[in-house]
Chain A
Amino acid sequence: MSATLKRVGIWLGLPVALVTVWWFASAGSTDFFRPSLQRIVQAFRETWLGPRFVEEVLPSLARLAVGYVLAVILGVVIGVAIGLSVRTRALTEPVLEFLRAIPPPILVPVIMLFAGIENTMKVIVIVFGCIWPILLNTVEGVRATDEVLTDTCQVYGVKPLRHLVLQSASPQIMTGARQALAIGIILMVISEMVAANNGLGFTIVQFQRGFQIPEMWSGVLLLGLIGVALAGLFHLAERRVLVWYHGSRDADRR
């Protein structure tokens, strides 16, 4: 118990210190563009803890969820297909390198042309940005499948795809998925900043244009909090899925 408390303390220590400094340094600020933290927190409460949460935040999160899940599914399926065959890998590598090199935000105006500015466009942008780390990591993970385990599957009539390939690639798949999550949040906001009629990115830009500065800052704060919360959820999920992986790595180190 005390160990957990200590960890929470270490984890929260710096953020609490920074917020405290910010709070007192900005207290009583009369600068229009840099309002006091107290003012921002007040704006946060008024802005986000109400109908706006449903109208602006949930649509953003829903698009992120759909795009992210699609990217994970597509990335794993395509990654496994490519990783299993040496020939496919050689064939697809140059194309993948090219596609991966395109910065996804540049696709927002392009995709707008045929997918409009509604949800479809934003989901496509998120999928396109998130898929690469997942796909490429899956390919690497599948490639590294142990030969002895492959032989074992063959001798004992065990279906290798489900029982071996996906499992043994799961640490790499999770690494890719973690990277993709951060990219997904960025693209969620960017796609809304360029063209949208709701969503977090859209609302923050609206505040900025309307000189509602404390509200704008509170939106930035909210994005940061969402990022931390999603990373925390991911960490919990990863710990469950990869119990064996972390355990065996610790066992090797001993």
Chain B
Amino acid sequence: MLIVDRLSKVYDAHGRRVEALADITFSVAEGEFACVVGPSGCGKTTLLRCLAGLLSPTSGTATVHGKLAVVFQEYGRSLFPWLRVRDNVGLPLKDLSKRERQAKVEGALEAVGLTDAAGAYPWQLSGGMQQRVAIARAIAYGPRVLLMDEPFAAVDAQTRADLEDLIRDVWHRLGVTLLFITHDIDESVYLGQRVIVLSSAPSRVAENIKIDLPDERDQLTTRGDARFVELRARIYAHIQKAKRGSTS
């Protein structure tokens, strides 16, 4: 479970005061899959860093119940280039016995379809495969809550579709609480059970939209579904409104 209560973040750099997050309140229920979308520059990454405990908020709180794992946007920079894939995935499991660790690493690599790449270095893999490694690392860690920060922003469209389905699959299997941050409206509708729309910076929660699509989703039929198109249009309108609201 994830609770964000009246969270705000103000950067004070060189006398210039930048208000990134104005007042954010929402929660994600145990086992829920929620997406956060917003116009570019709306402080999505700031929000993630506050949730992950990498940044302390100016006011308000972000509470994560249970173990947290994060998949970062820059997959190329979030894997250790001096470690092979299996050691990258196993590094956070140093406290476990060698045997347990090995089992978890193998399981996680199998879940993302990378069993064959266990002995490779990350830089020998394609971008999409590297992000799979990062996802495997998060899975192996055994989190209750999983945060993802635009994880597929830098991969090509086909890889992206594969990874989206992989994430739905992982979510089903692990039963984790998942918060997925993206700037892509289609992606947010396709993936989650709920979309939280942020306004432009200083951002607030502009809208909370339930995605009442059937749980069984696939790239072809779901994206062609009339309900999908309707939800996408609604979110798009909200974001346009949020953008105008900040400029006027």
Chain A residues proximal to chain B, CB less than 8 Å: 146, 148-149, 151-152, 154-158, 163-164, 167-168, 170, 244-245, 247-248, 251-252
In the assembled complex, B123 has its CB within 8 A of some CB on chain A:
yes
Find out whether the CB atom of B54 lies under 8 angstroms from the CB atom of A247.
no
Work out how many contacts link A and B, with CB atoms closer than 8 A. Answer: 57
Per the bound structure, the CA–CA distance linking A163 and B82 in Å amounts to 10
Find out whether the CB atom of B80 lies under 8 angstroms from the CB atom of A151.
no
The 6 closest A-B pairs by CB, nearest first: A156-B92, A148-B77, A248-B123, A244-B82, A251-B123, A155-B70
Decide: A156 near B80, CB < 8 A? Known: A151-B52, A247-B121: no
Interface string of B61-83 (1 = CB under 8 A from A): 00000001110101001101111
A108 to B: closest C-beta gap in Å: 40
A251 to B: closest C-beta gap in Å: 4
In the assembled complex, B159 has its CB within 8 A of some CB on chain A:
no
Find out whether the CB atom of A244 lies under 8 angstroms from the CB atom of B68.
no
In the assembled complex, B53 has its CB within 8 A of some CB on chain A:
yes
Q: Which residues of B contact A245 (CB under 8 A)?
A: 81-82
Per the bound structure, the CA–CA distance linking A170 and B121 in Å amounts to 17
In the assembled complex, B94 has its CB within 8 A of some CB on chain A:
yes
Per the bound structure, the CA–CA distance linking A163 and B52 in Å amounts to 20
Q: Which residues of A contact B49 (CB under 8 A)?
A: 151
Chain B residues proximal to chain A, CB less than 8 Å: 49, 52-54, 68-70, 72, 74, 77-78, 80-83, 91-92, 94, 121, 123-124, 137, 141
Q: Which residues of A contact B141 (CB under 8 A)?
A: 156
10 more A-B residue pairs beyond the given contacts A156-B69, A245-B82, with a C-beta to C-beta distance below 8 A: A149-B77, A149-B80, A151-B52, A155-B52, A155-B53, A155-B70, A158-B92, A170-B82, A244-B83, A244-B121
Q: Which residues of B contact A148 (CB under 8 A)?
A: 72, 74, 77-78
Contacting residue for A149 out of B52, B78, B124, CB 8 A: B78
Q: Which residues of A contact B121 (CB under 8 A)?
A: 244, 247-248
Find out whether the CB atom of A152 lies under 8 angstroms from the CB atom of B94.
no
A180 to B: closest C-beta gap in Å: 22
Decide: A152 near B72, CB < 8 A? Known: A244-B121, A248-B121: yes
Decide: A158 near B70, CB < 8 A? Known: A148-B77, A152-B78, A164-B80: no
- Which A-chain residue is minimally distant from B49 (CB atoms)? A151
Interchain residue pairs with CB less than 8 A apart (21): A148-B77, A149-B77, A149-B80, A151-B52, A151-B70, A151-B72, A151-B78, A155-B52, A155-B53, A155-B68, A156-B91, A156-B92, A156-B137, A157-B92, A164-B80, A244-B121, A247-B123, A247-B124, A248-B81, A251-B123, A252-B123
Of A146, A156, A244, chain B has the most CB atoms within 10 Å of the CB of: A156
Per the bound structure, the CA–CA distance linking A248 and B130 in Å amounts to 13
Per the bound structure, the CA–CA distance linking A171 and B69 in Å amounts to 29
Per the bound structure, the CA–CA distance linking A156 and B141 in Å amounts to 8
Q: Which residues of B contact A163 (CB under 8 A)?
A: 80, 91
Per the bound structure, the CA–CA distance linking A246 and B208 in Å amounts to 48
- Which B-chain residue is minimally distant from A244 (CB atoms)? B82
Per the bound structure, the CA–CA distance linking A170 and B80 in Å amounts to 13
- Which B-chain residue is minimally distant from A155 (CB atoms)? B70
Q: Which residues of B contact A151 (CB under 8 A)?
A: 49, 52, 54, 70, 72, 78
Per the bound structure, the CA–CA distance linking A30 and B70 in Å amounts to 78
Per the bound structure, the CA–CA distance linking A155 and B134 in Å amounts to 13
Q: Which residues of A contact B53 (CB under 8 A)?
A: 154-155
A152 to B: closest C-beta gap in Å: 5
Per the bound structure, the CA–CA distance linking A170 and B81 in Å amounts to 12
Contacting residue for B80 out of A154, A167, A247, A252, CB 8 A: A167
Q: Which residues of B contact A248 (CB under 8 A)?
A: 81, 121, 123
Find out whether the CB atom of A158 lies under 8 angstroms from the CB atom of B77.
no
Q: Which residues of A contact B81 (CB under 8 A)?
A: 244-245, 248
Per the bound structure, the CA–CA distance linking A251 and B126 in Å amounts to 11
Q: Which residues of A contact B137 (CB under 8 A)?
A: 156
Of B68, B74, B78, B82, chain A has the most CB atoms within 10 Å of the CB of: B82
Find out whether the CB atom of B77 lies under 8 angstroms from the CB atom of A167.
no
Per the bound structure, the CA–CA distance linking A170 and B91 in Å amounts to 19
Decide: A155 near B74, CB < 8 A? Known: A163-B91, A164-B80, A248-B123: no
B96 to A: closest C-beta gap in Å: 12
Per the bound structure, the CA–CA distance linking A151 and B78 in Å amounts to 8
Q: Which residues of A contact B70 (CB under 8 A)?
A: 151-152, 155
Find out whether the CB atom of B123 lies under 8 angstroms from the CB atom of A158.
no
Per the bound structure, the CA–CA distance linking A170 and B72 in Å amounts to 24
A254 to B: closest C-beta gap in Å: 10
